[in-house]
Amino acid sequence: MTNTSESNDPLYPDYLPVWEYNTLPDWEEVAFTDAGTRATDDYNYLFPADHTAHRRPVSPYIGEEIRGIQLSQLDKPALDDLALLVARRGVVIFRDQDWKARAVVDTVRHFGRLRIHPTMGYPEGFPEIHVLYQDPKDAATSKNTVVSLDYSDKISSINWHIDHSSEVQPAGLTFFWNLEHPDVGGDTQFVSLTEAYNRLSPELQRGLDGLQVLHDNSSMLHYSRENGGPARFNSVRRHHPLIRTHPATGDRALFVHGFVQAIHGLKAEESTWILSFLQDIVAKGSEYQIRARWEPGSVVVWDNRVVAHTATPDLAGVEGRRHMVRIAAMAEVPV
């Protein structure tokens, strides 16, 4: 069933993007405790003995799909269990969810400070909500909210990445809501950075341990300014560990993606070779990748500390509106 209104007007007009050209203070480090460290090992609060939820793994290494649980109705102990489940599975897909903006914002705030996107639009009154909007009949509203579909100078726009990794405390959990979506296309792909790390030889793991990688968001802010968009924060250049450890599980994962710049202390050729090799095993690791397909009422929750993701920009020529909202909670300083 197509998730669109019969009148062809947006189903959720109050959550269309607006662009406020405000300037905000840069993020500073704050104390953080991961919600997953308070969880029960068997998720007893998320899945009590009398629960009727249906769970299924999406693949052996990554992903789980759940029906029969409403995120907006979970209490704090259940949200702690959810944090641990997402840390272990990387991605959890919830189906048949309701949409109550204030309740959603409050739910995600349980997992950390809510991030405000430096360049993208948000619904009026909800700066924590990042809007992605694509409507072939409304180019003005769609502008600057979606991945480019112009392939005149490239073959593909697939770009495995971790959101806003240059921050002092990058995003932990991200919640991605589907408000309206075409019947086909627009999947979000995920790859397990934990399993990518596990595939490396112990010798190479030891060699990479302790290296620091430069993360830099200046090109995103420059692009927004050059195209008339906002730039709410100063640009950030920061080194983070190439291998990071999750505070709730102790699992180690690669912390590299398509937007990292260089490995600190290595010569340019050495850095380029190592980063290209690591990004290659991420891109080619189809056995530890999944595609999240969007249905009406779907919410995908992922942990940026253990997975990378990419949009699938295949909606050129597809009828229908794609209206998504995303909220991200900032986590710990990577270690």
Structure confidence at residue 2 (pLDDT): 44
Structure confidence at residue 219 (pLDDT): 92
Structure confidence at residue 150 (pLDDT): 61
* Domains in the chain: boundaries: 36-141+156-330
b/e string for 20-35 if b means 16 or more Cβ within 10 A?
eeeeeeebeeeebebb
> Is the distance from CB of 16 to CB of 133 less than 8 angstroms?
yes
Structure confidence at residue 289 (pLDDT): 98
Structure confidence at residue 149 (pLDDT): 56
pLDDT tens track of the chain, all 335 residues?
345 445 689 999 999 999 899 999 999 999 999 999 999 999 999 999 999 999 999 999 999 999 999 999 999 999 999 999 999 999 999 999 998 888 999 999 999 999 999 999 999 999 999 999 998 888 767 666 655 556 667 888 899 999 999 999 999 999 999 999 999 999 999 999 999 999 999 999 999 999 999 999 999 999 999 989 999 999 999 999 999 999 999 999 999 998 899 999 999 999 999 999 999 999 999 999 999 999 999 999 999 999 999 999 898 888 899 999 999 999 999 99
- Tell me the whole-structure pTM to 2 decimals: 0.94
CATH class of 36-141+156-330: alpha beta
The pair of structure tokens assigned to 124 is 């009026």
Structure confidence at residue 136 (pLDDT): 83
User: Phi and psi (nearest 5°) for 157?
Assistant: -105, 15
